[in-house]
């Protein structure tokens, strides 16, 4: 079997799909995108295609190694996301060729389903309590919300209080047994992160996500180690080499690699197993489309330390298309009692509606991150 072509499709709301074709008629799909830089990732895939067209798609480890190491410059969001989508599609091809789901090729399932959480509140947290109640009524046992809006290095107490009021409203609305994740989103710098982490302790959070940007974690090690609230991060780390020092630091309780950014199934599985050796939990990052979620679920099936899965159904970004629109059988993602079942079909386990993908790719998208500014006119982290 030989790879004959790679085709990318940029589709609304802000996703990008990849189809890899072979000379035996077996196709594989992946989801390579950096939100806001989809075209750049597509260009990287085109460059990587020089290495892999004509190669046997079943030699996944060797192809991954060539894509990562043979370019001299390595790592970073663009290259690793391009590799990720190709890697996902290669596993999809291999599973389809053998008539098995990817998790069977990884050693089989350690679970049949996994807990999922629902996003509430949007970029600027508001009316989060009502959204949390709605999520709980739909059967979700966990929710995640943004912590703050713009926040300066050292800011005023009213912004802290607004965050506390939002979290308290959610906790009171859903009761003590619904998990609440609070995402600082890298918007908060060290001085205010110390304040917020301490003040949020009474609300018994499921986790605090990205309390500071990953490059600043070392400056908060004592705070992160000593808070009783689990600390999660990793969506902006792209390889086992990026993760190794943070995992070994003892300051992080949950890692959140994104298999559409962190080198696909091949690399993310290695990251997950490295974390397991340090008794660190896995909660894969996935605010993306159906191929990204299918990839995550194949990994969740085979990684013992996975405990919950992000998913984008109804997320505030999905204004024109939603998670289930691009697949023939939406029931493959079977939600029940706050959990979703692991797909058991061959490859990634989903059947892409290629005609609809092509139709929507004609519209494409040009999604960009919002640009926020503080009152003084300086840029605010989004």
Burial of 96: CB neighbours in 10 Å, binned 0-12, 13-18, 19+: buried
Asked if residues 3 and 22 have their Cβ atoms less than 8 Å apart, the reply is yes
Q: In terms of Cα–Cα distance, which of 376, 347, 380 is closest to 60?
A: 347
Out of 285, 316, 365, 374, the active site residue is: 285
Dist. CA 290–CA 262, nearest whole Å: 17
Q: Which residues pair with 22 in a beta bridge?
A: 3
Place of tokens 């792209």: 238
* Residue 144 backbone class (left: φ over 0; alpha: ψ -120 to 50; beta: rest): beta
Q: In this structure, what token pair is assigned to residue 218?
A: 């070392």
Q: In this structure, what token pair is assigned to residue 369?
A: 């991150």
The helix (H) or strand (E) run that includes residue 380 is strand 379-380
Q: What is the DSSP string of 279-299?
A: T-EE-----S-HHHHHHHHHH
Dist. CA 373–CA 77, nearest whole Å: 24
Dist. CA 80–CA 83, nearest whole Å: 5
Q: In this structure, what token pair is assigned to residue 380?
A: 């605010």
Q: Omega of the bond prior to 13 within 30 degrees of 0, cis?
A: yes
Answer yes or no: 316 catalytic. Answer: no
Place of tokens 């075209």: 39
Greatest CA span in the chain, whole angstroms? Answer: 63
Out of 103, 185, 189, 261, the active site residue is: 185
Asked if residues 119 and 157 have their Cβ atoms less than 8 Å apart, the reply is no
- Point out the residues that are catalytic: 185, 285
């Amino acid at each position: 079997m030989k790879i004959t072509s790679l085709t990318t499709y940029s589709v609304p709301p802000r996703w990008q799909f990849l189809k890899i074709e072979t000379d035996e008629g077996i196709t594989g799909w992946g989801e390579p995108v950096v939100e806001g830089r989809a075209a750049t990732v597509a260009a990287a895939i085109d460059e990587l295609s020089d290495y892999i067209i004509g190669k046997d798609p079943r030699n996944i480890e060797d192809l991954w190694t060539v894509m990562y190491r043979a370019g001299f410059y390595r790592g970073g969001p663009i290259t690793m996301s391009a590799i990720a989508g190709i890697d996902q599609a290669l596993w999809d091809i291999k599973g389809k060729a053998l008539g098995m789901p990817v998790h069977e090729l990884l050693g089989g399932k350690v679970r049949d389903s996994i807990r999922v959480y629902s996003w509430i509140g949007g970029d600027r947290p508001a009316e989060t309590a009502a959204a949390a109640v709605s999520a709980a009524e739909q059967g979700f046992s966990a929710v995640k919300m943004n912590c703050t809006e713009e926040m300066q290095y050292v800011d005023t107490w009213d912004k802290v209080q607004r965050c506390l009021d939002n979290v308290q409203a959610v906790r009171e609305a859903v009761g003590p047994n619904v998990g609440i994740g609070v995402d600082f989103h890298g918007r908060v710098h060290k001085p205010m992160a110390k304040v917020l982490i301490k003040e949020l302790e009474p609300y018994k959070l499921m986790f605090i996500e990205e309390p500071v940007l990953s490059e600043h974690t070392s400056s908060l090690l004592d705070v992160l180690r000593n808070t009783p609230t689990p600390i999660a991060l990793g969506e902006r780390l792209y390889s086992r080499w990026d993760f190794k020092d943070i995992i070994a630091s003892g300051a992080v309780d949950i890692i959140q690699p994104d298999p559409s950014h962190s080198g696909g199934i091949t690399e993310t599985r290695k990251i997950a197993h490295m974390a397991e050796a340090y008794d660190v939990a896995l909660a894969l990052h996935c605010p993306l489309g159906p191929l990204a979620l299918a990839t995550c679920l194949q990994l969740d099936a085979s990684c013992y330390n996975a405990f919950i899965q992000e998913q984008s159904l109804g997320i505030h970004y999905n204004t024109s298309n939603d998670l289930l629109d691009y697949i023939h059988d939406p029931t493959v993602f079977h939600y029940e009692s706050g959990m979703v079942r692991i797909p058991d079909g061959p490859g990634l386990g989903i059947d892409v509606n290629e005609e609809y993908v092509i139709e929507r790719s004609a519209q494409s998208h040009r999604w960009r991150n919002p640009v926020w500014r503080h009152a003084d006119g300086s840029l605010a982290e989004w």
